[in-house]
A and B are shown apart, each in its own frame.
Chain A
Amino acid sequence: MRWFKAFYNGSLWAMAIALTCFHNTWIQMRINTGYIFYGSWLVLTILCYIATKKRETGILFSITSMILCIAYSYALYGWKRLQIVPASLLREGIHQPTIKFAIINKVIIAFMIIGIIIIILENIREKRDHKGRTL
């Protein structure tokens, strides 16, 4: 489960980094910001996994991470641009410019919701197992 938490939180932070880069027109015009997202995602997943080796993070960490990343992205772009920019950089990174924004947005939302549900359910299961062992 530690891998999944690292994978999930890494994706949120990587998106925040990519959106920050995309917000700078100079960078946006010269660099494929999709590469920044996918590259950061890979690096942050590994770093987060290593960093939580000794002490695993709880549900609160992932929920806070999600809320902060959404709030930051909203502050940076506003609602209308948020419906376009994350989807745009995701498809740019995989060189699939014909995928519709609406489809990518649905995948992003599904990933965020299902991801956090998996983390919450897994956490509840772990707590139950822990209780069972201590009784």
Chain B
Amino acid sequence: MKKVVVFIMTAVLSLSVIACGGKEKETKNDAAKSGSNQTAASADTEAAGEQKYKNLTVDADKKEISFEAVLNGTYFTEPTRHAIVGEDGGNADKSMFRAKAYNVDFNDALEELGLSGDSNVSMDDMSASADKNIVNTGDPLEFFIQWDGQEEIPFKDVIKADKDFDWNVVFTGNRDVAESTQAGCFLCLDSCAAGIAVNTLPVGTTAEGGTQFFANEEVLPDDGTTVTITVRPAE
């Protein structure tokens, strides 16, 4: 009996430790690989007539970008400032949706549609409080979401907060910071130095005591559901 118990304990603890270490390496390697091979891979795949960006579709005629993401039910009850983060990004587990695409590709795809961002928020600005009113500027965007059994609805409808909030999303053009930090952010709920798109609330809006954002459980499907997110330039 004792031997069996000790064996089970050792096995479980060993598995825990292995699980803790493994994925980190994989994520960093994948991210680095994805970043460094981006240009070459894009050129090759385009030449071969394949999809230019991994898991990201660009429709130039319709002027829209779409990608799949998985809903994280943790944020039905817990606050977060990360709406959508790429699954290989450092903030992937901290966001409402884990995109199956890469955020630097998302930046490039938006530029391909002729959009631009001013990249006017620096990492040094990120510790500022909301009253400093530091906000991203760039071309305005509209985010939409749909899933099985649900037609496309505005992304704002799946977000709720403990206070009333404005919803104006812009393209930030934060490609360089996004690539260097590998945070993976597609859409942040307040202004940010690393997100490719942000809701233009001032930096620090979501800090302690500020606005708390949640995924809206009353509208959204179950945790783990794959959704499709579509982004278009705002009219």
Q: Which residues of A contact B (CB under 8 A)?
A: 1, 3-4, 7, 22, 25-26, 28-29, 32, 34-35, 38-39, 41-42, 45, 80-81, 84-85, 88, 92-95, 97-98, 100-101, 118, 122
Contact A1 B78 (CB under 8 A): no
What 11 additional pairs, Cβ within 8 angstroms, besides A93-B19, A93-B20, A101-B223?
A: A1-B5, A7-B9, A25-B208, A28-B94, A88-B78, A92-B93, A93-B16, A95-B22, A97-B72, A97-B224, A98-B224
Contact B77 A94 (CB under 8 A): no
Query: Would A101 and B13 be within 8 Å (CB), given that A32-B93, A95-B23 are in contact?
Result: no
* Secondary structure call for the A interface: helix
Q: B73 contacts the other chain (Cβ, under 8 Å)?
A: yes
Contact B78 A42 (CB under 8 A): no
Query: Would A45 and B9 be within 8 Å (CB), given that A1-B2, A26-B208, A80-B77 are in contact?
Result: yes
Query: Would A29 and B20 be within 8 Å (CB), given that A45-B13, A101-B73 are in contact?
Result: no
Point out the residues of chain A lying under 8 angstroms from B81, CB to CB.
29
The complex places the Cα of A122 from the Cα of B72 at a distance, in Å, of 40
Point out the residues of chain B lying under 8 angstroms from A25, CB to CB.
79, 208
Query: Would A29 and B94 be within 8 Å (CB), given that A81-B78, A85-B78, A101-B73 are in contact?
Result: yes
Contact A41 B13 (CB under 8 A): yes
* Secondary structure call for the B interface: helix
Q: Please name the residue on chain A nearest to B4 by beta carbon.
A: A4
Point out the residues of chain B lying under 8 angstroms from A45, CB to CB.
9, 13
Give chain B nearest CB distance to A126 CB in angstroms. 11
Point out the residues of chain B lying under 8 angstroms from A28, CB to CB.
78, 94
